[in-house]
Amino acid sequence: MKLGDHPSVRPYAGRCAILDTNVLLLHLLCLFDLSLLTSFKRLGMFEEYDYLLLSELLKLFPAWCTTPHVLTEVSNLANQLPDWKKASWAELFSRRIQLIPELFEDSSQIASDASAIRFGLTDAALISLAKTHLVLTVDWPLTGFLESRNLAVLNLNHLKGIELTR
């Protein structure tokens, strides 16, 4: 089965996807240095297949975006890279974030949803934006919450095992 034909993907193909922190971190750090999959603790939950799956999945969306909250978390997590990699990483990160549209909503507005803010400000922003966008994540609690509200979410882990064609 092709990735675009998978029943979890088909309804969302062609929509704008919002990338959650770990998904964007995986994408950007592997673009930077694929060997970080096995050497950087913040990518320890992922394998090369996950990166390839994400790369193929992103091709199915005409646009993807994120939030300032997600970018801040990605920046903070990547700041744990070894010092000798930080300058090169910062250059790539700076170039790449210029290409990713940011969706912004005031934190006071985001926090007004008491059931969402318990997930933290970053996830609450994604929950708010999921009313109009697909959220691409690996976060199980966030996935469950969005699904319980019938909001658009796709958890990369749901797609594991799909044979990828190159």
* CA atoms of 152 and 164, how far apart (whole Å): 23
Q: What is the mean pLDDT of residues 128-154?
A: 94
What CATH number should be reported for the domain holding residue 107?
3.40.50.1010
In a domain, 166, yes or no: no
Reported as a single tens digit per residue, the pLDDT across 23-38 is 999 999 999 999 999 9
Give the confidence band of 166 by pLDDT, cuts at 50, 70, 90: low
Q: What is the domain range of residue 79?
A: 3-159
Q: How confident is the model at residue 21 (pLDDT cuts 50, 70, 90)?
A: very high
CA distance 129 to 79: 27
What are the pLDDT digits (tens) for 95-126?
Answer: 999 999 999 888 999 888 888 888 989 999 99
Residue 85 counted as domain residue: yes
Distance CA 136, CA 153 (A): 6
How many independent structural domains does the chain possess?
A: 1
Closest CA to 147 of 11, 16, 42: 11
Distance CA 57, CA 55 (A): 5
Amino acid sitting at position 132: T
> What CA–CA distance (Å, rounded) separates 26 from 48?
10
Q: How confident is the model at residue 80 (pLDDT cuts 50, 70, 90)?
A: very high
